[in-house]
Structure 1
Amino acid sequence: MQLTRGLHWLLAAQGDPYAALLRGYDRIPAAALREPGVVWRSRTGAWVTAHHRTAALALAHPDLAGPPEFRDNTAAVVDRAAAQRVIDRLAVRFDLAQAARDSAIAALGGAADAVTELLPVLDAAVCPQEPGIARLLAADGDLRRTAAAVQVAATLTANAVTELLDADRWHDFAAGRLPVESVIIETLRHAPPVRLVPTTATGPVDLAGNAVPRGESLVVLLDAANRDPAVFPEPDEFVPNRFDDGGPGQVLLPNGPVAFARDHAELFLTALAERFPRLRADGPAVRARRAPVTRFPHRHPVASTEVSR
């Protein structure tokens, strides 16, 4: 595992943008990930696409399969009362990242300790984790899929709140001037909870004129593809009403537990705005390391000057 980490750092230093992304520290500009070509081969050995049209084709290709945690589409119902209780207990100062995780775990009915230990499950698919975490990730498939669902839901939820705060639009949202559905879909585009999907070719695949042999890896960079300027004007800007009239293009989503994540995020944001209409950041958002897939928030202190109930 450490040899793989060392290789990522070495190749990144030599200019490979995908290797730089795999380090799981910095956000790599979408343009840098598209620049090598529509489909290009990283020196890590993986084929990579960050162009919207080709990424959409790859996600729908029958001979490109992702890991179970990325493609599991089990319908999960949000336990709204359990999630609401988490929000009702929040003080005027709290950690947004922790609140989103606690709420997602409660909403899914998971065992907090077991799920929390496995939250890096999606990131571990492409980025070696610390030895102790790696051992835990050998857990049974059902628990891994539960952890993946919680991680996606919590990350989408925290990202949506953070996007509104950073854009100084929380007050507009709390006042009802921004539909929650619009905020969530733009967050899925601009700050998605799953930023890349690793796939393996189960047969020979032709993609944009490139032959990907059977057994080789192709990585779909959702984050970069959803910032393709050929599809989305001002792609690096968070525009919460971008899709109010249908929008300029389709937001690419992973074939995973996104429905649960969206339902949870909509519930959490609506309830949080009712309780804290004047929410503000109380410190910088700190992202987890070794998290190139999710960039999940490790900590984000927030506070409110007003509590409605």
Structure 2
Amino acid sequence: MTRHQIDPRQFSDSDLARHLLTVRGVQWMNGDRGAPLALLLRDHGVDPHTLHATLRGTPVLRQTDLDVWVTACHEPAAALLADPRLTSQDTALGRRRRRVYSLGAGATVKYVLTVDDTALAADHADSARSAELTRDWLSGPAVERHRARTAAAFTGLALPDGERDAFDLLTDFVRPGTVAALAGLLGLPPGSVERYAALLPATTHVLDSLLCPPTLAAGRALVEGYDGIAALVDQALAAPPELPDGALAGLLRAAGGDTAPVRSVALLTLVVGARLATGLACSTVAALLAHPDEWDAVRREPARAEAAVAETLRYDPPVRVVGRIAGEAMEIAGLPIAAGDLVTVLVDAAQRDPAAHPEPDRFLPGRTAGAAPLVFADPRISLLEPVVRLVATEAVRVLVARRPRLTPAGEPVRHIRVPVTGAVARFPVRTAGRTAATQDGAVAAPR
């Protein structure tokens, strides 16, 4: 019997804690006996790349636990993410199991919890409808109109400019710039942007909590942060004449005034889009700092920031694991998959599959060989690709221009229990001194 995620709002602290601890305990025990997916999901004391190598080869899809399947190979991963029979909901059992998980459940928990059954649960048909709705507002050509404004969101941030002053890449630069960029893109009322900035950090586990139980405190904070951002969206949608002429107003017009789909798209952008953009920007900077020749290439030619971000999507993606549920009995790679089984794609492993990518463990911006990244093949987040790429690219481009001699001031510190996103909590960096680009705080906006 498949167990689905629960809505933490419906449970007391004691019941929610029991659910989270039980799932955590089961993942921990399964990891101790060598179950590879459990080792990855418990997110402790394992080198994922070493583990990924053991999962490649034949069979390309492996059963790692009761009614749970996993692949680390690119070709089947791409096929699985494109298969409409694999869904975000178990249709046979309704939209959610409403009982906490217990050791006597007789099944593996599928999704641990979720805070939204709409914005976070899109399937292929939902994705197609959203793509049509957002075509003129969040597609590639649409968001390109906001490139200069997005760059300005990062250019306008105050950074320490004293000799060898340190700052936190995430909290001082990437996240506040992302907040300003996304708020401007959607056209949130100016008075709500500060509140959005305050709420966003609490939503860090929004994707990770699907497959890995957060702590009780993090789970409650996630609900508070998500609901707070939802309230900001609802307030904006309740008074559309007062909205700036941003994507939110345009989406309302495209939807004929129907607020439900617009609300889902806005929440997906403001919460998940922000999580992916900040993760991608931080990972790109980390990769560039670890490869000084590539950092210098971006410094000399700022347009190369786009290639660096594109390669990071493959090399260190902002989504590492995607779990989908078989909506019907099916056969995948010659193996019988029962309805309700969990099929898990290890995106980061598949994107380093030597069968799909030459020299997969090298960071090579501008590479022309190899398959397309799989991150946005997940229909739940597919429409976010143009926005996430734009924000991350401008963050990297502006940072390199403003701090061309940036160096790490310590190792990036990651949150606990974030196997899906690898979310950074702190990223200390140090500037080697002032340059002409930073003396007046100005960086030329892209044309």
Q: Distance in 2 between matches of 1:70 and 1:304?
A: 41
Give the 3-state SS of the residue equivalent to 2:343 in structure 1: strand
Q: State the AA in 1 paired with 2:22.
A: L
Q: State the AA in 2 paired with 1:119.
A: T
Q: Is the 8 A contact 1:170 1:278 kept in 2?
A: no
2:139 aligned with 1:119 = no
Matched with 1:210 is 335
Deviation at 1:225, TM superposition (A): 0.3
Q: Distance in 2 between matches of 1:177 and 1:79?
A: 14
Q: Distance in 2 between matches of 1:282 and 1:128?
A: 31
Q: Distance in 1 between matches of 2:158 and 2:58?
A: 49
Q: State the AA in 2 paired with 1:135.
A: R
Residues 1:44 and 1:9: Cα distance change in structure 2 (over 3 Å): farther
Matched with 1:292 is 419
Q: Distance in 2 between matches of 1:303 and 1:226?
A: 31
Give the 3-state SS of the residue equivalent to 2:407 in structure 1: strand
Deviation at 1:122, TM superposition (A): 0.2
Q: Is the 8 A contact 2:204 2:423 kept in 1?
A: no
Q: State the AA in 2 paired with 1:38.
A: V
2:53 aligned with 1:43 = no
Structure 2 unaligned blocks of 5 or more? 1-19, 90-118, 184-192, 231-263, 439-447
Give the 3-state SS of the residue equivalent to 1:272 in structure 2: helix
Q: Is the 8 A contact 1:198 1:219 kept in 2?
A: yes
Q: Distance in 2 between matches of 1:32 and 1:287?
A: 25
Q: Is the 8 A contact 1:64 1:202 kept in 2?
A: yes
Of the three residues 151, 154, 168, the one matched with 1:95 is 168
After TM superposition, list the pairs within 5 Å mapping 1:1-309 onto structure 2.
Answer: 1-25=20-44, 26-29=46-49, 30-34=52-56, 37-43=59-65, 45-66=67-88, 68-69=119-120, 71=122, 75=134, 76=138, 77=143, 81=149, 84-87=152-155, 88-92=157-161, 93-98=166-171, 99-109=173-183, 111-138=196-223, 139-140=226-227, 142=264, 145=268, 146-168=270-292, 169-176=294-301, 179-243=304-368, 247-254=369-376, 255=378, 256=381, 257-305=384-432, 306-307=434-435, 308-309=437-438
Give the 3-state SS of the residue equivalent to 1:42 in structure 2: strand
Deviation at 1:86, TM superposition (A): 4.0
- Identity across matched positions, percent: 32
Q: Is the 8 A contact 1:170 1:279 kept in 2?
A: no
Q: Which deviations, in whole Å up to 9, do the C-alpha atoms of 1:93-143 show, x marking residues without a partner? A: 221122222222221115112222112100000000111222344445748
Q: Distance in 1 between matches of 2:214 and 2:370?
A: 38
Query: Quick check: which one's helix share is greater?
Result: 2
Q: Distance in 2 between matches of 1:294 and 1:11?
A: 21
Matched with 2:109 is none
Residues 1:236 and 1:42: Cα distance change in structure 2 (over 3 Å): same
Q: Distance in 1 between matches of 2:426 and 2:121?
A: 24
Deviation at 1:177, TM superposition (A): 7.8
TM-score where L is the length of structure 2: 0.64
Q: State the AA in 2 paired with 1:107.
A: A
Q: Which deviations, in whole Å up to 9, do the C-alpha atoms of 1:202-233 show, x marking residues without a partner? A: 12232111222222211111100000011112
Question: Greater Rg, structure 1 or structure 2?
Answer: 2
Q: Distance in 1 between matches of 2:410 and 2:385?
A: 29
Q: Which moved more, 1:290-299 or 1:271-280?
A: 271-280
Q: Which moved more, 1:1-10 or 1:121-130?
A: 1-10
Deviation at 1:288, TM superposition (A): 1.6
Q: State the AA in 2 paired with 1:106.
A: A
Q: Distance in 2 between matches of 1:79 and 1:248?
A: 28
TM-score where L is the length of structure 1: 0.90
Q: Distance in 1 between matches of 2:271 and 2:302?
A: 34
Q: Which moved more, 1:175-184 or 1:217-226?
A: 175-184
Q: State the AA in 2 paired with 1:81.
A: R
Deviation at 1:158, TM superposition (A): 0.6
Q: Which deviations, in whole Å up to 9, do the C-alpha atoms of 1:59-89 show, x marking residues without a partner? A: 1001112374375667544685366344431
Structure 1 unaligned blocks of 5 or more? none
Deviation at 1:178, TM superposition (A): 7.1
Would you say how many aligned residue pairs link Structure 1 and Structure 2?
Answer: 306
